[in-house]
Structure 1
Amino acid sequence: MSAALRIGIVGYGSGGQAAALLLSRDGHQVEVFERAPVLGPVGAGFLLQPTGLSVLWELGLLDAALAHGARVRRLHGETVAGRAVMDMRYRELHRRYFGLGLQRGALFALLDEAWQEGRRVHCGRSIVAVDHEHGLLRDADGDEHGPYDLVIVANGAASLLRGSVAPPALDRPYPWGAQWCLVERGDWAWQDELRQRYVGARRMVGMLPVGTRPGDATPRLSFFWSLPVAALDSAANQDEGAWRSAVAAVWPQAAERLRDTAVPEGLAQARYRDTVARRWHRGRAVLLGDAAHAMSPQLGQGVNMALLDALVLRDSLRSAPSLGDALAGYQRTRRAHVGIYHLWSRWLTPLFQSEYDRVAALRDRIFHPLSRVPGGRGQTLQVLTGLRRGWFGSIRQAPEFLEALERRAEA
């Protein structure tokens, strides 16, 4: 497609930001609608995999991300008794690979600062309807926006607009959620590892180094505490003493890191959905990020998937002869990658967030030994790093990107 398009994007999360930046750079006229009155990130920290890092490299933001993020070289999970359940090192898949723990505030700031040319963002605009045929948007005040040649729906897992594209094949909330916050890293012992500790599948504490962010040079950790959704607002969970005792019983060192965190006021809540879209596009509208493929956080792929969506959509618009062909190619390419992750996350979630004690006991005994089986370990690492494509395929990284990682590792 050679003509510049007028594009409306609903949502300014990571996927919406990346899409706005990539498509603006290709000469398209981009306009963003964000329901929040003030732009800002939502969430504590996350793990950028090689897939997500490759998109930042494409955007010219890899160095800035590395300057703020914390390199993560090992993923380790254990029971409170010290039995290893998960132990993965990136170098076992590829000597150049690593994960990057990053604060959501850092990624938001980097993407936001990079998009200045042709920038048009409308804050406090809640879009309630999409006319996919005519490319029109209607907000909660009744105002109409457009028409647009393309509407990108990127407003998250709880999107009420995905049905405007097509009724989802599956759309249900997970019964388990989490509390999270950022804490100072200090003298934390595992500064290049994602660490998790489990009590069966009923309780889980996660600690991820996430580095710094623009305007705050203090290195931090992202804390994650798994809970049933029904317990997030329960009276028992509002009792500071009981809450701290519960966390300390699972992981005393993690509880110590939270000594200055207000409980429960300083803890944010997270809820998750499992969503499979029948179609990702219809007429002039297309889904992107969690609006297209929400899943549980067990594989930690949400931000990475959204960044890849934005990049593939840009490439499809570049190469296809028509908008319909471009959107069909985007859907085909991304579903080939995302599908296996839906399956794996659905299978893994009950092993780590459920009341299935016998299943968790079996996990504790066999999960780690199975991951050490020759041949199987590489496959597991490909899934965890976001590189699995289908049952047996994999995403191939550009040699230039791998060389860029090599140069930065040497530096």
Structure 2
Amino acid sequence: MRRLRVAVVGYGTGGQAVALMLSRDGHEVEVFEQAATLGPVGAGFLLQPVGQLVLWELGLLDTLRRHGATVSRLYGETAAGRAVMDMRYHELDPRLSGLGVQRGALFSVLDSAWCEGRQLHCGTRIVAVDHEAGAVTDAAGRRYQGFDLVVVADGAASSLRTQVAAARLDRPYPWGAQWCLVPAGDWPWADELQQRYVGARRMIGMLPVGTRPDDPTPRLSFFWSLPVAELAEAGVDAPAWHAAIAAVWPDALSRLHGTPVPDGLAQARYRDTVHARWHRGRAVLLGDAAHAMSPQLGQGVNMALLDARALRDELRSDSPVEVALDRYARSRRDHIGIYHFWSRWLTPLFQSERDGLARVRDRVFHPASRLPVGRGQMLRVLTGTRRGWFGTFALPTAFLESLDACGRPAPAHLPESESATASAMVGDTGSSGVAS
């Protein structure tokens, strides 16, 4: 296999994963990260079966599971107690579950695994990409050149994406969130993502996310949905902030007693980005730089991991690099398109000022999710295994068997041929026997 010299811009999940994978394949990888000190950005997330697959192939899933929290159910209700959402992984396949993970845990696992040929420039903000020459330039004017490939993985707020390809859509969402990590203690929903809603204007979520290597305390990831325009002042009046939380979900407020407000709360902002092309010349987009979307479907980390896997696999062919990049982009767009669609349509139901839509949501969403077709579609989208409207993303049989063994996966490195050709799918019949 040819050996490429690769520059990776950004050391988030996508950048970490692609650096690790390409280095293991023998490529010379050099990473440029603008942060002076390495560390994760964000609180917690749900690692879906498709993301678990990537880490399993890398032999890292067992390590991460020792820190994460198994999530079997996603449940949301109004503040008045009306069920809005109730999705259980076992209804698609009894072997599947989500994994609540602290971003710090995933960051540490991926960072520790990258040993081969590690070249990492911290405190280096790349401001220009020369896609023709295979070069990047940092904010100090230093030019790094001679790369066969430049992978732009600098996140949802990427300043470089349009230097690679014009965006068909690139806009910020008007709604964001405050978040923090809190001790789980005796939280009664230890294996569930729980959410509470007031119309579409207010939403609280609590996700079990386990521990991380430098902190053995099991934690919950708390998020509080707010308009971006309110984020700067949210919590300045701490008593009013606490009263607003209590009005939606008193149980959540009880977990926040040790969190200083607003200093202990971080802010999150989101974008909706679509590119018709993901590459030009020697440069290619990966992760949120290519396809940022709202967090409603919780797929950002999972799709970034799949991007890295797909790019690695295409570069294993003997085709010219530009042909491999085109195949990578087409295959990933085929998978991601449906997630862009649903995140764009679902966001106004949960984060907007459209309370009329929320009233329809409160009456229709849960009953629709109990119908066989609706339940199957929702679970496919949740797990990341929906491809297009009716297609299915294949999960290898060996991976599914590893999930079934003692209820936890065994570490494994798939042979290259098996990884590339495995086509066994999670059955479209869930444990209830109803086809999705």
Q: CA deviation at 1:320?
A: 4.6
User: Any conservation in 2 of the 1:13–1:41 contact (CA below 8 Å)?
Assistant: yes
> Residues 410, 101 of structure 1: CA spacing in aligned structure 2 closer, same or farther, 3 A cutoff?
closer
Which residue, 311, 314, 328 being the options, matches 1:313? 311
Task: Please give the alpha-carbon distance, in whole angstroms, between the structure 2 residues aligned to 1:408 and 1:15.
Answer: 30
> What residue is the counterpart of 1:171 in the other structure?
170
Q: Is the 8 A contact 2:43 2:221 kept in 1?
A: yes
Q: Return the match for 1:252 from 250, 265, 269.
A: 250
The Cα of 1:410 is off from its aligned counterpart by 6.4
**Which residue does 1:340 correspond to in 2?**
338
Q: Which amino acid letter does the alignment assign opposite residue 154 of structure 1?
A: A
SS of 1:231's equivalent?
helix
Shift of 1:319: 2.3
Q: Specify the alignment match of 1:327 in structure 2.
A: 325
Amino acid at match of 2:274: V
Return the offset for 1:272. Answer: 0.2
* 2:212 paired residue number: 213
Q: Distance in 2 between matches of 1:323 and 1:353?
A: 41
What does residue 138 of structure 1 align with? Answer: 137
TM-score by length of 1: 0.98
Structure 1: which amino acid aligns with 2:374? G
Counterpart of 1:369 in structure 2 is 367
Q: Aligned partners of 2:330, 2:317: CA distance in 1, in Å?
A: 14
Instruction: Give 1:380 shift.
Output: 1.1
Query: Where does structure 2 lack aligned partners over 5 or more consecutive residues?
Result: 410-436
Q: Which secondary structure does the structure 2 equivalent of 1:3 belong to?
A: coil
**CA distance in structure 2 between the aligned counterparts of 1:286 and 1:94, rounded to whole angstroms:** 35
Q: Distance in 1 between matches of 2:26 and 2:130?
A: 24
**Where in structure 2 are the equivalents of 1:119-134 lying within 5 Å?**
119-134=118-133
Question: Corresponding residue for 1:10?
Answer: 9
Report how far residue 5 of structure 1 moved: 0.2
Matched letter for residue 257 of structure 2: R
Paired AA for residue 382 in structure 2: L
- Amino acid corresponding to residue 226 of structure 2 in structure 1: L
Q: Where in structure 2 are the equivalents of 1:189-204 lying within 5 Å?
A: 189-204=188-203
In the alignment, the residues of structure 1 paired with residue 388 and residue 202 of structure 2 have an alpha-carbon distance, to the nearest angstrom, of 31
SS at match of 1:319: coil
User: Does the CA contact (< 8 Å) of 2:235 and 2:261 recur in 1?
Assistant: no
Q: How does 1:37-76 map to 2 (within 5 A)?
A: 37-76=36-75
Secondary structure of the residue that 2:186 maps to in structure 1? coil
Q: Secondary structure at the match of 1:312?
A: helix
Cα deviation code 1:58-107 (max 9, x no counterpart): 11001001100000000000000111100010000001000000000000
Output one character per residue of 1:217-260: Cα deviation in whole Å (capped at 9) or x when no partner. 100000000000000012x5311111111011100010010000
Aligned 8 A contact 2:79 2:248 in 1:
yes
Mapped to 2, the partners of 1:256 and 1:60 lie a distance apart of 38
For residues 148 and 72 of structure 2, what CA distance do their matches in structure 1 show? 43
Cα–Cα, structure 1 residues 134 and 19, in superposed 2: closer, same or farther, change >3 Å? same
Distance (whole Å) between structure 1 residues aligned to residue 60 and residue 406 of structure 2: 13
Offset, 1:302? 0.3
Range with bigger deviation, 236-245 or 325-334: 236-245
- The CA distance in 1 between the partners of 2:336 and 2:116, in whole Å, is 32
Q: CA deviation at 1:284?
A: 0.2
Q: Which residue of 1 aligns with 2:403?
A: 405
- Distance (whole Å) between structure 2 residues aligned to residue 374 and residue 198 of structure 1: 25
Please list every run of 5 or more consecutive structure 1 residues that lacks an aligned counterpart in the other structure. Answer: none
SS in 2 for 1:36: coil
Q: Which residue of 1 aligns with 2:428?
A: none
The equivalent of 1:242 in structure 2 is 240
Structure 2 distance, partners of 1:320, 1:303, is 29
Q: String of CA shifts for 1:339-358, please: whole Å, max 9, x gaps.
A: 11101000000000000010
Q: Could you list the runs of 4 or more consecutive aligned residues of structure 1 that deviate by over 2 angstroms after TM superposition?
A: none
* Cα separation, partners in 2 of 1:46 and 1:38, compared to 1, 3 Å: same
Relative to the length of structure 2, the TM-score reads: 0.93
Q: Against the structure 1 CA distance between its residues 156 and 408, is the aligned structure 2 distance closer, same or farther, given a 3 Å change threshold?
A: farther
Q: Map 1:273-292 onto structure 2 (within 5 A).
A: 273-292=271-290
Higher deviation after alignment, 371-380 or 386-395:
371-380
Distance 1:388 1:281 in 2: 24
Q: What is residue 181 of structure 1 aligned with on the other side?
A: 180
Shift of 1:166: 1.1
Distance 1:22 1:253, change over 3 A: same
* Partners of 1:410 and 1:171 in 2: CA distance: 40
Name the CA distance, whole Å, in 2 between partners of 1:378 and 1:410.
24
- Residues 402, 408 of structure 2: 8 Å contact kept: no
| SS of 1:265 mapped into structure 2 | coil
Aligned-partner residue type, residue 355 of structure 2: D
CA contact (8 A) 1:231 1:237 kept: no
Alignment of 1:93-112 (within 5 A): 93-112=92-111
Q: Is the 8 A contact 2:21 2:308 kept in 1?
A: yes
Tell me, in whole angstroms, the C-alpha distance in 2 between the residues paired with 1:322 and 1:43: 37
Structure 2 residue identity aligned to 1:291? A
Find the aligned partners of 1:204 and 1:30 in 2 and give their Cα distance: 41
Deviation at residue 147 of structure 1 after TM alignment = 1.8
Q: CA deviation at 1:273?
A: 0.2
- CA–CA distance in structure 2, aligned partners of residues 277 and 408 of structure 1: 42
- Partners of 1:49 and 1:124 in 2: how far apart? 32
Q: Which residue of 2 aligns with 1:297?
A: 295
Is 1:38–1:124's contact at 8 Å kept on the other side of the alignment? yes
What is the DSSP-based 3-state SS (H/G/I as helix, E as strand, rest coil) of the residue aligned with 1:237?
A: coil
Write the deviation string for residues 260-284 of structure 1: whole angstroms up to 9, x where unpaired. Answer: 0010000000000000012101000
Render the CA deviation track for 1:146-187: whole Å, top value 9, x for unaligned. 220000000000101011111100000000000000000001
Q: Deviations over 1:93-145 (max 9, x none)?
A: 00100000000000000000000121000000000000000100000000001
CA distance in 1, matches of 2:274, 2:190: 36
> What per-residue deviation string (whole Å, max 9, x for no partner) do you get for residues 336-382 of structure 1?
00111101000000000000010000000000001111222111100
Q: Does 1:83 align with 2:82?
A: yes
How well do the aligned residues superpose, as a CA RMSD in angstroms? 0.9
Name the SS of the counterpart of 1:32 in structure 2: strand
